Amino acid sequence: MSAILDFLLGLAWPWTRLLLFLVGICAFVGLNAAYLVLAERKGAARFQRRPGPNEAGYAGWMQPFADGLKLLSKQVLIPPGTDALLYCVAPLMVMAPPLMCLAVVPFGESLVARNLDYGLLFVFSFGSINVMALMLGGWASRNKFSVISSARVVSQNVAYEIPMLLVVITLLMVAGTLDLNEVIRQQTGGFWQWNILRGIWDFRAGHIGANFLMPVTFIIFYTCMLAETNRAPFDMAEAESELVAGAFTEYGGMGFGVFFMAEYANIVLGCSLATILFLGGWQSPFPPVSFLAYFSGPLWGPIWFLAKMYCLVFSVIWVRWTFPRTQFYNLLNLSWKILIPISLFTLLLTGALMKLPLVWRHLF
Amino acid sequence: MNVSKELLPAGPSGEAPQETFILNLGPQHPATHGVLRIRTTMDGEWITRAEPIIGYIHRMHEKMGENRTWAKFLPNTGRIDYLSAMHYTHAFVGAVERAAKIEVPPRAEYVRVITSELNRIASHLVWWGALLLDLGGFTPILYSFEDRELILDLLEGLCGARLTFCYYRFGGLCNDVDAEFIDGTRALVKHMRPRLEMYRALVTGNIILRKRLEGIGPITAEMCRKYGATGPVIRGAGVAYDVRTVEPYSVYPQFDFKIPTYPEADSMARYHVRMDEMEQSLRIIEQALDQLPDGPVMGKVPRVLKLPVGDTTYAVEAARGRFMVRIVSDGKDTPYRLKLRTPCFSNLSLFEEASKGMMLPDALAMLGSLDLVIPDIDR
């Protein structure tokens, strides 16, 4: 009897685990979206020297629920003349990819829904759906502002996908694996072992790292992430002073709310990825020696991960409220004329620096 | 939704016909700051034609002026351009004083200059914040409004109003300034200088801002003359045209101040002109406070004001350019004709020509640099 139960449990466990994690991720994304909106508004208020939302609950802590309730209680309106199916599907399509991608993101060494060997590839393949969803939403709205915004989204995301992937390829050459957990495991042993610094000088091997331009690579990645998530100063899709609300002009109620949540889910995902690839993921910034070893472990992992990720999220908010919006062609110029050449150069440099020791040994 | 499209003749053989579409910017659009409507014919994101359609907030100010006595029209003037109420009241009051030959005591004239320049700074601060808002920078407007608040507090102490000031009267002012105002204004001048410096350091030098304004939206001096554009628009085209110096009024000749001009004629030039003007206004305020004479603030004005038959004009340099009031009197207690020459109307007229072939965001940045107040266009 118990053997059969064990067998059934063994069969069901991977799926139960996945299900549990998906529920967890949904809750995580939902809460993040809700409270990042609050954090953004509070942050903006701080930069602008005003109190921000402070009425609902203690210091405005209930504001996300008030907002959510308001959005939920609104009528779902499909404007006449729109492509009703695409119009309704677009918000779901923009929300689904970050949820899927977070399934492979390791929050801790074992706190990952599905540790795929090709996690990085998975993230990028799903991440690209976001663009299509925004485009469809804008296109289906049958609004001229939305259509302009759709066209912008496509060219912007195509332009920024390239340097981002080049940067990721650079990292892949260094890491040699697509497994996100493995990428993090390689960065153990203190903050100087994180990819962002390890590239400059490899302390473990005691020689020059694979790519001394790694901080620049990180900045390129960060910039691309801002552009990919349509965040200011690259918020071409929702340029409110030019295109009213861009692709979201015709959306109201929860349709708009889902787009809004997806924006924050994408930010969380982008920052998670930056944390994993460059900042050591769940690794402690301290080396595991003497009492400092206490700070690394299964309990501390998620804490370090979230701390690093939220620092990046905060910087994203900071950037938004500091800079004006870029001009669209300047945005494309930045990608094609600056970011792509630099990332190509770092790619070549990494290749050269990795193979140089071999050549050296061969010659002498 | 308007789905009509204009098909322009096909290009050289083999090319698809050039397809344009019509985009209505406004009357409810975030970038027009009011009920301005611009009917743009777009080729992708490029504007082939932008036709401003005005009149959504027409309130018949001129006709109202012709139907009521001189004094009763006075509060209207502050509502034409609600951001530079002092200047507009000044022009109307000045025109009536010129026609009726009313002597204004010097103290009143000095206070008029001080309050006008304070109003100019407040108006430019609003423009600065609004332009940055158009460019997608949300934060600056809250900083500029913080400074503007100080100015509004000062002016509120004088006349009770915070926006549509009606402080000037025929022959002087309704209230004398008190020590509180003078000390407050001195403190404000001290406060504003480092703030302007901060704005320069934080915003003007920003690479994104410069990329969005420099070399974009050229409005040449010739175009300004063609359409009658004045104020910072023509000064941004390198012409030192300022009513305060070319048609001196009030006590402006007493002060030493520069007319900032920038020959680049782009959006950035207009930006710099306004930023420099705020500094010059501070200089004028400082000098006026130092020279402020004692005495009454109200001259001798007849109880029932009847203007002699005649045609009088009076122009002032409002925050947006030359505002002129023309009064034609037939000897009655109401004007025969009251003509208001407002700067925003002329400044907007050139938009159609200037925006041709521009990209939508650039054109909107240029629109922001024109600093339009829509009620001022429609009157």
- The answer to whether the Cβ–Cβ distance between B212 and A144 falls below 8 Å is no
CA A249/CA A3 separation, integer angstroms: 58
Q: What distance in Å separates residue A148's CA from the closest CA in chain B?
A: 7
Q: Which chain B residues are closer than 8 Å to A327 by Cβ?
A: 211-212, 359, 361-362
With the C-alpha atoms ordered B26, B28, B33, B35, is the resulting torsion angle positive or negative? positive
Q: Which among A144, A235, A322 has the least Cβ separation from residue B23?
A: A144
Residue whose token pair is 């050289």: B12
Residue whose token pair is 């994203």: A316
Q: What is the mean pLDDT of chain A?
A: 82
Q: What distance in Å separates residue B72's CA from the closest CA in chain A?
A: 39
A-B Cβ pairs (cutoff 8 Å, strict): 81
Q: Higher model confidence: residue B67 or residue A296?
A: B67
Q: Which chain A residues are closer than 8 Å to B128 by Cβ?
A: none
CA distances from B100 to B96, B129, B307 (A): 6, 40, 5
Q: Is A327 in the B-facing interface, judged by CB distances under 8 Å?
A: yes
CA distances from B350 to A240, A272, B128, B256 (A): 25, 50, 21, 32
Beta strands in chain A (DSSP E): 201-202, 207-208
Q: Which residue of B has its CA nearest to A327?
A: B212
CA B3/CA B283 separation, integer angstroms: 54
Q: Which chain B residues are closer than 8 Å to A325 by Cβ?
A: 135-137, 208, 212, 361
- The answer to whether the Cβ–Cβ distance between B23 and A242 falls below 8 Å is no
- The answer to whether the Cβ–Cβ distance between B136 and A239 falls below 8 Å is yes
- The answer to whether the Cβ–Cβ distance between B208 and A244 falls below 8 Å is no
CB A125 within 8 A of CB A302: no
Q: Which chain A residues are closer than 8 Å to B30 by Cβ?
A: 240-241, 244
Q: Which among A50, A151, A241 has the least Cβ separation from residue B30?
A: A241
Write down the architecture of domain B61-217+247-258+273-352+359-378 according to CATH: Orthogonal Bundle (1.10)
Helix (H) or strand (E) holding B259: none
Give the Cα-Cα-Cα angle B355, B361, B362 (nearest 5 degrees): 45
Residue whose token pair is 């110029």: A333
Backbone angles phi, psi at A56, to 5 degrees: -75, 110
| Lowest-confidence segment of A165-169, A266-270, B12-16 by average pLDDT | B12-16
Q: Which chain A residues are closer than 8 Å to B135 by Cβ?
A: 241, 324-325
- The answer to whether the Cβ–Cβ distance between B136 and A48 falls below 8 Å is no
Q: Which chain A residues are closer than 8 Å to B361 by Cβ?
A: 239, 242, 325, 327-328
Backbone angles phi, psi at B19, to 5 degrees: -105, 130
What is A288-333 written as a DSSP string? Answer: SSGGGGGG-STTHHHHHHHHHHHHHHHHHHHHHTTSPPPPHHHHHH
CB A239 within 8 A of CB B359: no
pLDDT at residue number A334:
86
CA A161/CA A172 separation, integer angstroms: 16
- The answer to whether the Cβ–Cβ distance between B143 and A240 falls below 8 Å is no
What is B86-123 written as a DSSP string? Answer: HHHHHHHHHHHHHHHT----HHHHHHHHHHHHHHHHHH
CA A94/CA A92 separation, integer angstroms: 5
CA A155/CA A336 separation, integer angstroms: 11
Q: Which residue of B has its CA nearest to A145?
A: B23
pLDDT at residue number B17:
59
- The answer to whether the Cβ–Cβ distance between B1 and A321 falls below 8 Å is no
CB B80 within 8 A of CB B379: yes
Q: Which residue of A has its CA nearest to B205?
A: A323
Residue whose token pair is 């939305």: A146
DSSP character at residue B16: P
Give the Cα-Cα-Cα angle A356, A287, A267 (nearest 5 degrees): 80
Q: Which among A144, A241, A244 has the least Cβ separation from residue B134?
A: A241
Q: Which chain B residues are closer than 8 Å to A144 by Cβ?
A: 1, 21, 23, 42
Q: Which among B30, B45, B138 has the least Cβ separation from residue A321?
A: B138
Residue whose token pair is 């609300």: A245
Helix (H) or strand (E) holding B20: strand B17-25
pLDDT at residue number B2:
46
Q: Which residue of B has its CA nearest to A324?
A: B137
Per-residue pLDDT of chain B (379 residues; tens, 9 = 90+): 444 444 445 445 555 556 788 888 878 887 777 788 888 888 878 888 888 888 888 888 888 888 888 888 888 888 888 888 999 999 999 998 888 888 889 999 999 999 999 999 999 999 999 998 888 888 888 889 989 999 999 999 888 888 888 889 888 888 888 888 999 999 999 999 999 998 988 888 888 888 888 888 888 888 888 898 998 999 988 888 888 888 888 888 888 888 899 888 888 999 999 999 999 999 999 999 998 888 888 888 888 777 888 899 999 999 888 999 999 988 888 888 889 989 989 888 888 888 888 888 888 888 888 888 888 888 8
CA A122/CA A115 separation, integer angstroms: 11
Q: Provide CATH 1.10.645.10 ranges for chain B.
A: 61-217+247-258+273-352+359-378
CA B174/CA B298 separation, integer angstroms: 8
- The answer to whether the Cβ–Cβ distance between A50 and B136 falls below 8 Å is no
pLDDT at residue number B302:
80
Distance of CA A50 to the CA centre of its chain: 29
User: Is the predicted pLDDT of residue A37 greater than 60, yes or no?
Assistant: yes
pLDDT at residue number B19:
79
- The answer to whether the Cβ–Cβ distance between A241 and B23 falls below 8 Å is no
* Residue burial B255-271, b: 16+ Cβ < 10 Å; e: rest: bebebbbbebbbbbbbb
Backbone angles phi, psi at A207, to 5 degrees: -140, 180
Taking 3-state DSSP, the helix, strand and coil percentages for chain A, each rounded to the nearest 5, stand at 70, 0, 30
Task: Spell out which chain B residues touch chain A, with contact meaning CB-CB distance below 8 angstroms.
Answer: 1, 21, 23, 29-31, 42, 44-45, 132-139, 142-143, 146, 206, 208-209, 211-212, 359-362, 364
CA A123/CA B147 separation, integer angstroms: 47
- The answer to whether the Cβ–Cβ distance between A239 and B212 falls below 8 Å is no
Tokens of A180: 């996100």
Q: Is A318 in the B-facing interface, judged by CB distances under 8 Å?
A: no
Q: Which among B23, B136, B206 has the least Cβ separation from residue A232?
A: B136
Contacts of A361 (CB under 8 A, 6+ apart): none
Q: Which among A44, A321, A330 has the least Cβ separation from residue B211?
A: A330
Give the Cα-Cα-Cα angle B93, B98, B101 (nearest 5 degrees): 115
* Residue burial B304-328, b: 16+ Cβ < 10 Å; e: rest: ebebeeeebbbbbbbbbbbbbbbbb
Asked if the ipTM is above 0.90, the reply is no
Q: Which chain A residues are closer than 8 Å to B362 by Cβ?
A: 327
- The answer to whether the Cβ–Cβ distance between A81 and B1 falls below 8 Å is yes
